[in-house]
């Protein structure tokens, strides 16, 4: 299930989205959503400032991605509301 980047847990699979802020070295990128920033690794070339969705495992403080796709033509605020709504409904 798609989640926000609130609290990535070591060893847990993450399916989330964020904005590419910076390119680091060797396929590493800094990705953030609101106040939370994480480092991801990927073989794909990402554009700084683009919104992406990503899937992978969080290990040693880095999200090791299996899949990275760009989010084009998506209202990020609506996507965030949908994620929060589904998470809330699952708790009921």
2 occurs within a structural domain: no
Question: 3-state class of 6 per DSSP?
Answer: coil
What total number of domains does the chain contain?
A: 1
51 occurs within a structural domain: yes
Per-residue pLDDT reduced to its tens digit, 27-85:
999 999 988 999 999 999 999 999 999 999 999 989 999 999 998 877 888 889 999 89
State the CATH number of the domain containing residue 49: 2.40.50.140
6 occurs within a structural domain: no
Residue 57 is part of which domain span?
A: 13-91
pTM to 2 decimal places: 0.83
45 occurs within a structural domain: yes
36 occurs within a structural domain: yes
60 occurs within a structural domain: yes
Per-residue pLDDT reduced to its tens digit, 6-42:
777 888 898 999 999 999 999 999 999 988 999 999 9
């Amino acid at each position: 299930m798609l989640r926000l980047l609130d609290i990535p847990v070591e060893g847990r699979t993450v399916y989330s989205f964020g904005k590419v802020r910076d390119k680091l070295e060797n396929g590493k990128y800094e990705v953030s959503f609101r106040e939370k920033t994480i480092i991801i690794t990927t073989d794909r070339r990402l554009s700084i400032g683009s919104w992406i969705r990503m899937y992978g495992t969080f290990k040693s403080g880095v999200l090791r991605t299996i899949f990275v796709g760009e989010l084009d033509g998506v209202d990020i605020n609506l996507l965030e509301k949908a994620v929060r709504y589904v998470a809330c409904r699952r708790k009921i």
